[in-house]
Amino acid sequence: MTVLSEVRDTLSGLRAEVAELHSELTKYQLVVWTAGNVSARVPGRDLMVIKPSGVAYEDLTPDSMVVCDLHGTVVDGDHAPSSDTDAQAYVYRHLPHVGGVVHTHSTYATAWASRGEPIPCVLTMMADEFGGDVPVGPFALIGDDSIGRGIVETLRGSRSPAVLMRNHGVFTIGKDARSAVKAAVMCEDVARTVHVSRQLGNPRPIEQHHVDALFDRYQNVYGQR
């Protein structure tokens, strides 16, 4: 029995989920044309499911999703995988708690990335979701694992599930692909709000002990358990 046949049902479900989650990126206007992507780790396997390269969002289907190993090699699928595959494979190899990765060029967050400036934690929602500032990662070229290295080195020491890669865009991580999509949506929302706040004056930072308390409550108490 091949590895793929052993996880056939899991792959079928993940392909459907990843394909569906791409509609959230367009719904929240986080991407244009064919830019951006969602990927998911295959639980218990050194595999990932990711969007194909250059395929329009309206044409994405579960069958068009590509299965790769965690070095970016295609193991199943009829399309070439996203140009971010090597970078995201690097993230999965080096951050074993990550189950999903998302990349967008959402307008406001990418504007912060173009400035090379973290989004300061001046909103309780930021403390809840990001545990502090949204950090900036280094500039890196597309096409190999350089972006992945920058993501890992930046987020390894941060509570944030989002990083603004300098002059590029947003990458988010999560326990699963849906959580990573949520982080991307939230990142764009706070980037926009803090930008507007700066037009009105100087936003007031939240004291660190309050950030810590808000993050702990949101992560461990808020919602249904």
Domain boundaries, the chain: 3-220
pLDDT at 193: 98
CATH class (in words) of the domain with range 3-220: alpha beta
Nearest to 23 by CA among 13, 37, 12: 37
Check whether 126 has a pLDDT greater than 60. Answer: yes
Cβ proximity of 179 and 25 under 8 Å: no
Q: What is the pLDDT of residues 170-188, one digit of tens each?
A: 999 999 999 999 999 999 9
pLDDT at 6: 83
In this model, does residue 124 exceed pLDDT 50?
A: yes
pLDDT at 155 over 80: yes
Amino acid 16: pLDDT: 98
pLDDT digits (tens, 9 = 90+) for 180-220: 999 999 999 999 999 999 999 999 999 999 999 999 999 99
Instruction: Determine the average pLDDT of the residues in 19-27.
Output: 98
Which residues, including other chains, have CB under 8 Å from residue 89's CB and lie 6 or more apart? 48, 68, 69, 70, 71, 72, 145, 148
Supply the pLDDT for residue 1: 46
pLDDT of residue 4: 79
Q: Which of these, 23, 17, 11, 12, lies nearest to 56 by C-alpha position? A: 23
